[in-house]
Amino acid sequence: MVEDVANPAGERSGQFGALGLHLADPRVEASVLGVLDRVEVSLRASVASADPLVTEASRHLVEAGGKRFRPLLVALGAQFGDPDADQVVPAAVVMELTHLATLYHDDVMDEAAVRRGAPSANSRWTNSVAILVGDYLFARAADIAADLGPEAVRLQARTFARLVHGQIAETVGPRDTDPVAHYLHVIAEKTGSLIATSARFGGMFGGASPEHVEALAEYGEIIGVAFQLSDDLLDIASESVQSGKTPGTDLREGVPTLPVLYAMASDDADAASVRLREILATGPLVDDTLHAEALGLLRESPALKRARETVRSYAEDARARLAPLPEGPARRALESLCDYIADRTS
């Protein structure tokens, strides 16, 4: 029943604007919203367990909401075939469960206290429970994928392997690799991979042609990287909480995002660039004065401009990958994401 859905259709329709997605065709919007409605109901049913604790902990992030970006791309990918095909909703559920599982593990690794405005699972139930619940969600995703066929299982497993490789690479650090190249690789593995498979699943299980499925997957990989990079820029450039967190949070925590990496790699000899490198080299900026100084310098730096150019390059690359797809409202919706990402950090 729709009443049981965490994010009612009207609220989710408003989220399209928050994602920069424009569904100008009422039929496409109704179709996509219908898929997302059924995904919400299925997500809750999928994480239910005979153990009340497992059910409660598993539903914790499901009920916290979120953009449902991955199910959205499944629903849009299916528009290039039959969006009402029986396997579209289960495919979207597989993708969202896989994503949610990674969040439980990420919160343990990051020692996060809050996720989506609520206490994180690890802070509420301990690290061990959070890790095991993440494992449970991965298992539920694999179980549902098995009903979709061997190819779905194979793709979900390979995507999971990329996610793990990305997390290991992030944890270990660049080693002998250029830090910028390493960072872009981590984002592709941790973020781009799952969004690529989401778009692929939409096309596959909607019955799109192989050529269109490949185009969707390529688009998903690149738009996923672009979206993550644009969030990095918003953390520095935004004066508000547009990025979903307090501006400068990554700086305060010592997370080396793309603008910081560009600044650190710069050999600009002007006083502002030299001073910025000095501050960034100290690590996490917990001192309010240094934090404010670094944030101000970054906002005016060539590094931020270069990072903006990188984001725009990814957004345009993603748009180019849509070329094999037929013209129509679904393709225009995917193109609108490219426009949004290119513009949101300008």
Largest CA distance in the chain: 64
pTM of the predicted protein model: 0.88
Computed over every residue of the chain, the mean pLDDT equals 86
pLDDT above 60: residue 7:
no
Q: Which of 90-94, 105-109, 196-200, 220-224 has the lowest mean pLDDT?
A: 105-109
Q: How far apart (Å, rounded) are the C-alpha atoms in residues 17 and 336?
A: 10
What pairing do the DSSP bridges indicate for beta strands 114-115 and 118-119?
Answer: antiparallel
* DSSP assignment letter at 230: H
Q: Which CATH architecture has domain 14-208?
A: Orthogonal Bundle (1.10)
Beta bridge partners of 115: 118
Residue type for 320, please? A
Residues 30-58: what's their mean pLDDT? Answer: 88
Instruction: Report CA Rg, the chain.
Output: 20
Between residues 16 and 344, the one the model is more confident about: 344
pLDDT, tens digit (0-9, with 9 covering 90-100), for 46-68: 888 888 888 887 777 777 767 78
Question: Two tokens at 49?
Answer: 């367990």
pLDDT at 52: 85
Q: Which of 9-13, 43-47, 71-75, 336-340 has the lowest mean pLDDT?
A: 9-13
pLDDT at 5: 36
The CATH 1.10.600.10 domain(s) of the chain lie at 14-208
Nearest to 46 by CA among 139, 159, 153: 139
pLDDT, tens digit (0-9, with 9 covering 90-100), for 136-171: 899 999 999 999 999 999 999 999 999 999 999 988
Neighbours of 224 (CB within 10 A): 27
Torsion of the alpha carbons at 201, 167, 62 and 51, rounded to the nearest 10: 110
Residue 115 phi, psi (nearest 5): -140, 125
Contact predicate 206/80, CB 8 Å: yes
